[in-house]
Amino acid sequence: MARGDGRLTHDINPQEKGPQDACGIFGVWAPDEEVAKLTYFGLYALQHRGQESAGIAVGNGEQILVYKDMGLVSQVFDESTLNTLVGHVAVGHTRYSTTGGSHWQNAQPTLGATPAGTVALAHNGNLTNTAELLDIVRERVGSASGELRYGNTTDTALMTALMGSYADRTLEESAIEVLALARGAFSLVFSDENTLYAARDPQGVRPLVLGRLERGWVVASETAALDIVGASFIREVEPGELVVIDADGLRSHRFAPAAPKGCLFEFVYLARPDTHISGRSVHQTRVEVGRRLAREHPVEADLVIPVPESGTPAAVGYAEESGIPYGMGLVKNAYVGRTFIQPSQTLRQLGIRLKLNPLREIVAGKRLVVVDDSIVRGNTQRALVRMLREAGAAEVHVRISSPPVTWPCFYGIDFASRAELIATGLSTDEICRSIGADSLGYVSLDALVEASTVPKNDLCRACFDGVYPIEPPARAGKDVLEQETIPGCETPDRDGLARAASLGDPADGLNSLLSAGGAADALRRP
């Protein structure tokens, strides 16, 4: 059965990869609740943050049961599988890969042995000192441990291995030590057999929020996931904070001073519009960006249309501010998220029509303002402009609700390389000519920051201005660990990991994988 590859979900043009999302993480501590199902629905709400693989680990006080596989949340799990994952604490993950390739061994949550049992860890973000942490793992463990041994090449697996490397400490104490060693962007949810943990890097680059159930607690990447499971929002997990939740309640540790640098691109594209960040609705922010875009780049036109759905809120704001009517000039096929059938050359030439089609009776003869969230290579906008002109548009004015993206991200978003970013080598006028528009305008960085209502110094703006709040890695890319030789590492395959689980090898921290039905099957299914 074909499974999701995570590459086409948001791409309107199949030939152009847009900015790929960070991962989605979810954790719940709730005795007497069906925590696996709560986690499933939480991950469903976070599917936009990663579409390559999904997994859930459940602790029942004695062991951790895990089920993970490649594909979307709805492809990986069904009701019978979730019914085998019984316990009171759960950790879930939906992945887009930034360190470690997109293959089964790298699906999360990642498991590792601890002196008292097992840790299951899910990570949103990207570390910048991965090579340094690998050296520490080599020194402390002496050989590959846990999932590293079976071909896991993620920075998450390094943190999991380190958390089990303190023989005389509890997981809570070990986590504080490991979190202080890590650099870069990391929002984490993890658990042992009894307790739920959540942590956020000192800069708080990636989001993480805390919610309350009637009989438990929830941690998630976005407030929208709290809404889905009926949890009330309590607060954000603070930068540099470790939260611990067990039968004794909730307690907090500070492992580093807070130096907030939240990701500005969350407001532009990554987060769901019904999510709240820093107390403000993302939808409200995007509408306000549209208003500011209209003030900065006015134009005489007949109709404002969005590129659905990412450009919709800003298009609403642009229309409100400019007084130009808002309309739907493009129809999106809601069921084309990814395709496993390679199109013929004839079909390939149709390009973005697989996903978008103009409403000819709406756009014909009109001067259009087309609002989108960003331009990466420019191929999508070039095809859109051509399509609208073929449908009879008199003029096409493109407006972008973010500044030009000119720098790569090292903190969990996968942009094109800097050489591929169209704004790196061309001016706005040159980009306008390249995509064939009558005019082109980007919102300014200051206007975007002001619309977010977050102080500029508390935001990471590196993809727009090249100012990195955390030192970038000396060597970046998904294959950082795949190019390393890890002592004791076996040939990465599913069967090896399945054998370790079946044998219950405590040295690997995989003995807790054993369960009836679903979880064992997850280790063997193709």
Q: For the residues of 309-363, what is the DSSP string, one character each?
A: TTTHHHHHHHHHHH-PPB---EEE-TT-S---SPPPHHHHTTGGGGTEEE-HHHH
Q: 428: which 2 tokens?
A: 């706005």
Consult the annotation and say whether 263 binds a ligand.
yes
Consult the annotation and say whether 74 binds a ligand.
no
| Three-point CA angle 17, 46, 175, nearest 5° | 105
Consult the annotation and say whether 373 binds a ligand.
yes
Q: How far apart are CA 97 and CA 4, in angstroms?
A: 13
Distances 54 to 6, 99, 166, 432 between C-alpha atoms, Å: 11, 16, 29, 40
Consult the annotation and say whether 372 binds a ligand.
yes
DSSP bridge pairs for 165: none
Consult the annotation and say whether 21 binds a ligand.
no
CB–CB of 286/314 below 8 Å?
A: yes
Consult the annotation and say whether 463 binds a ligand.
yes
Q: How far apart are CA 192 and CA 198, in angstroms?
A: 12
Please provide the size of the chain in residues.
526
Known catalytic residue at 23: yes
The residue type found at 13 is: N
Q: Which of 23, 35, 121, 449 is catalytic?
A: 23
Tell me if the bond preceding 420 is cis, omega within 30° of 0: no
Q: How far apart are CA 46 and CA 222, in angstroms?
A: 8
Consult the annotation and say whether 432 binds a ligand.
no
Q: 309: which 2 tokens?
A: 């759905």
Would you list which residues are annotated within the binding site for [4Fe-4S] cluster? 263, 409, 460, 463
Would you list which residues are annotated within the binding site? 263, 310, 372-373, 409, 460, 463
Active-site amino acid positions: 23
Would you list which residues are annotated within the binding site for Mg(2+)? 310, 372-373
